[in-house]
Amino acid sequence: MMINVESLTRRYDELIAVNDVSFQIGTGEIVGLLGHNGAGKTTILKMLTGCLEPSGGRIAIDGLDMETDRSAIQQRIGYLPENCPLYHDMTVIGFLDYAASLHGIPERRRIEMLRDVIGRTELESKATERISTLSKGYRQRVGVAQAILHAPKIIILDEPTSGLDPSQIFQMRNLIRDLARTATVILSTHILQEVQAICNRVIILRNGKKYLDSPLEDLRRVNRLVIATDVEPDRAGSIFNAISGIANFEVLPGDNGSFRYALTADGDGRAVHTAPAVAKAVIDHGARLFSLYPESRDLETIFGGMSIQEGRAKS
């Protein structure tokens, strides 16, 4: 495992910013750290990069322990903070050459490495310009360039598309996908579309705790059918419980005078395969069938449910 986090915790006096969070990230994954503002995303990234001391827990990266091998771990990581500290009076090439010296890259290798990162981040036309004259999108590219100068095994990006226009966002997404060909990538964001467009796995944080950790593909494999009918809840059990392949059902909020139910398949069966039997059972009971479809579950649905739970907890 490239990254192993166990029971990670960070306290600020009485405030617990990160609360007993554990996860593992394998080589080559693109993982989105998703959550509302204040959920603990940036705090976790700062601890992963060795910039912030945990209050508890353990971080191991590439087989090294953060507590005893911090310097060696940091050499393996490229980091783009949310507000990347750039020297605005320097030219792009001057700043990157300075960053290369901080990474300890020998002068004889710098020209080749600078040429490579400037090409990958498409900064050729801006290489001799002062950073202060660049747009937000190009400044973000400079930040990414300094993060990947030393060919890190892990690239950590905190809100990499924040403040970018649609065209710049599209370019940044392509750049991140390119970086993932040779490194493990972790990016934090509060934008759902960002994770869905780039990542193959998501870790959702809620109030400092891990709320969900799942490959995006698995989120789409929800084994339920949603049905809208005029069957009232007190009659639903006698119909749905008698259908072969259906384990249970849940009453959902109705719509336009209809009643809605979610039917879950039993065992290893797929709910969609029971659709003909479900439709027949409803019609055979003299009821009307308004709609029948497999449930889709995406990050928007999950985030919506999380927001509802938070609202209930506050009320």
Strand ranges (DSSP E) for 13-150?
15-25, 30-34, 56-61, 64-65, 77-80
DSSP-derived letter for residue 130 is B
pLDDT at 256: 75
- The 3-state DSSP class for residue 45 equals helix
pLDDT at 48: 97
CA separation for the pair 37, 82 (Å, rounded) = 12
CA 106, chain centre distance (Å): 35
CA separation for the pair 174, 248 (Å, rounded) = 43
CA separation for the pair 254, 262 (Å, rounded) = 11
DSSP-derived letter for residue 133 is G
Strand (E) or helix (H) holding 201: strand 201-206
Tokens 């719509």 -> residue: 255
Give the residues across from 204 on adjacent strands.
34, 212
pLDDT at 310: 59
Q: Whose CA is closest to 263, among 308, 228, 234, 221?
A: 228
pLDDT at 82: 86
* Residue 103 structure tokens: 């990474």
Q: What is the DSSP string of 213-280?
A: EEEHHHHT---EEEEEES--HHHHHHHHTTSTTEEEEEEEEEETTEEEEEEEE-TT--GGGGHHHHHH
Given a contact cutoff of 8 angstroms between Cβ atoms, the answer to whether 193 and 23 are in contact is no
Q: What is the pLDDT along the chain (315 residues), one digit of tens a residue?
A: 799 999 999 999 999 999 999 999 999 999 999 988 889 999 999 999 999 999 999 999 999 999 999 999 999 999 999 888 899 999 999 999 999 999 999 988 999 999 999 999 999 999 999 999 999 889 999 999 999 999 999 999 999 988 788 888 898 899 899 999 999 999 998 888 889 889 999 999 999 999 999 998 877 766 789 999 999 999 999 999 999 999 999 998 877 789 999 999 887 667 888 999 999 999 999 999 999 998 776 677 777 666 555 555 555
Residue 71 Cα distances to 30, 74, 120, angstroms: 24, 5, 26
